[in-house]
Amino acid sequence: MMSIVLLGPPGAGKGTQAARIAEYLNIPAVSTGEIFRANIAAGTEIGKKAQSYMDRGEFVPDSVVNAMVEARLEAPDVQGGFLLDGYPRTVEQAQVLRDITAKLGRPVDLVLEIQVDEDEVVSRMLKRAQEQHRADDTEPVIRHRMEVYHEQTVPVATYYVDQDLLEVVDGSGSIDDVWARIVEILDRMVGPRA
Ligand code: AMP
């Protein structure tokens, strides 16, 4: 049983690694970006509120994000642990998460920060833009998302260093290279699976 937060810049391959971690530890992956995209596709109120922010590479307001995460973490399937991808993205969100998880009696056990070279990240994202046609993967929006990441999300890593929860993962190389580094950390924390 583990509650894990995955940090890293846009394009660091968080989504791919999140899916692998979730499968490896048999816990649900909760991605706020994915939840927003599903809401936009379904035309919900949350989707309508989120879309313009996402298209500009801005953060969706905390009032929307925090309530959505709180509702998601109250669901039965995450009571045995979860992997959060894309949240928290600000120190304020990290504080809200601490309150939510304290209330649920399931505090965050581990924060993994995938660190990558910024030029590598931008080129990866431009490639993804071609493949997936995401509205927020155009070059100016990508650059803006990197700026917002530095301003708002890098301090979240420091917040978790202070709580002694942060493990840094070298995000260079292939998906399998990064995955091997993550498995090493997970096995060290919870013992080898399978
Ligand atoms: P992602 O798929 O994690 O890159 O998220 C895509 C977009 O969803 C972000 O650029 C934001 O506009 C929005 N988003 C996702 N998670 C959050 C969050 N924790 N706080 C604010 N906005 C978010």
What contacts 46, CB < 8 A, 6 or more positions away?
35, 36, 39, 64, 68
Percent of the chain clearing pLDDT 90 (strictly above): 77
Residue 187 Cα to ligand 1 midpoint, Å, equals 29
Residue 164 Cα to ligand 1 midpoint, Å, equals 25
pLDDT at residue 107 tops 90: yes
Q: Give the pLDDT score at 7.
A: 97
Q: Give the pLDDT score at 129.
A: 78
Atom from ligand 1 closest to the CA of residue 145: 10
Q: What is the pLDDT of residues 164-186, one digit of tens each?
A: 999 999 999 999 999 999 999 99
CA-nearest residue for atom 12, ligand 1, is 54
CATH number, residue 79 = 3.40.50.300
Domain count for the chain, please give it.
1
What's the rounded Cα separation, in Å, for the pair 136 and 23? 27
CB distance 136 to ligand 1 below 6 Å: yes
DSSP output for 109-133:
-EEEEEE--HHHHHHHHHHHHHHH-
Owning domain of residue 183: 2-190
CB distance 86 to ligand 1 below 6 Å: yes
Atom from ligand 1 closest to the CA of residue 136: 10
How confident is residue 101, by pLDDT bands cut at 50, 70 and 90?
very high
**Has this prediction a pTM greater than 0.85?**
yes
Residue type, 112: L
| Candidate of 32, 39, 137 to mutate for ligand 1, largest count of ligand atoms within 8 Å of Cβ | 32
Helix 32-42 to helix 45-56 angle (10° resolution) is: 120
Residue 59 Cα to ligand 1 midpoint, Å, equals 6
